[in-house]
Structure 1
Amino acid sequence: MIRWGIIGCGRIAHRFMQGLNVLPDCALVASWSRRPETVTAFVEQYGGIACESIEELLASDINAVYIATLPDSHAGYSIAALNAGKHVLCEKPAAINLHILETILKVAKAKKLLFMEGMKPPFFPLYRRLKKHLLTDPIGDVGYVRAGSSVADISLDHPNFSYDLAGGATMGIGIYEAYLAIEWLGATKKVQAMGRFGDNKIDMFPSFKPSMNRVTGSFIAGLICTVKAMP
């Protein structure tokens, strides 16, 4: 039985619980949020205990933690949970830069615990079928990836528009496009980027052209993501 603790009780945590509730070998044990009113409502709906601090949550009878907070806090909570002996599933992006991610992975390796980013596309049934088809397609390897997404139904006070909370289109949704490019074309060698920053200093309309270089040749991906407030 996987006994889960949840850090952060916002919209994403509610979506996580939709899946957790149908798994027979999982249970929600404890939850904590920086906003006490959200954790109270959360446990009333899903069960478990409402913790008053992250220390209380990490000391509870859990063996795994799901981190559903904003990107700026992912690293701190992940390292705290790993040091407390808990496996970690962290919302994307797992970290805001490579150096921080390497620090998290170093702790996970030292503790012999699982640290996993909540990157969901690889687990979609349709994506799995597509991947299986492309891997056996007689036309050959994938040589170009073009991907895009847009979010235009959030208010200006949403964390996605906060520079201090690591908001912006790239961190919020662009990571999905980047994943697809790396999944099919391999690690990047060079990235060209252009876009527009908003008054709040976040990237709102970025466009990327990463160049990959697999053993079989050179490849390019075109990636576009946008985030826009409701009028």
Structure 2
Amino acid sequence: MQQLYPEPGPVDQPTLIDLYAPPPEPAVRVNFVASLDGAGTLDGRSAGLSGPQDKRVFGILRMHCDALLVGAGTVRDEGYRALRLDEDRRRWRLEHGLSEYPTLVIVSGRADLDPAQPALADAPVRPIVVTTATADTDALPADIIRAGDEHVDLTAAVRQLRERGFAQILSEGGPTLFGYLTARGLVDELCLTVAPLLAGPGAGRITAGPPHDTPEHLTLRHALLADGQLLLRYGR
């Protein structure tokens, strides 16, 4: 892996971990992979766009976060398993004052989740489900955050997560959740892998949902190159 910007040169594992260190202040970071022509998935899943180096960064981002925020559709479509880390990453977290595992936070307006889904049933720490005031959550093996009446209020949800001590929040999507986070001005960083593929028409983008009036400008923090993939980090 090579760094292209801001300082060209080779990147080893310790350097890569430092390059993806979260900002000192609480932040919401979003991680996605996309094709050259803007597709967010191949055959309905993001795995076809990924690769070993993207997965390497994927693991480092999870290692750095306090909470992993994902939409219920992404949990189902991507076949999420329990949020577990390998021994080295757990040791690193403990050595750096973090809990052994990050907490999985699933956003679902109707809370229509399968209690037996591995991301819930096999979680090493009790997950959190963010939902609305009236959703039925009795069967879910999770703590519940209620934010909003008919629709999830993500601003209120992030505030409640902060109150629980989750300063660094990582979101892996899906596109609708990313779109709403953007619309609410909650995205502080985007880590984007650009895969060297032309997916062709049909696949959706990495963001979805209703349009919002004001585009947000982000600044490039670094650019890495590995196996033909560009790994980019942007921030406010």
Larger proportion of helix: 1
Structure number with greater CO (CA < 8 Å, separation at least 6) is 2
What TM-score do you get using the length of structure 1 for normalisation? Answer: 0.32
Larger radius of gyration: 1
Larger proportion of strand: 1
What TM-score do you get using the length of structure 2 for normalisation? Answer: 0.32
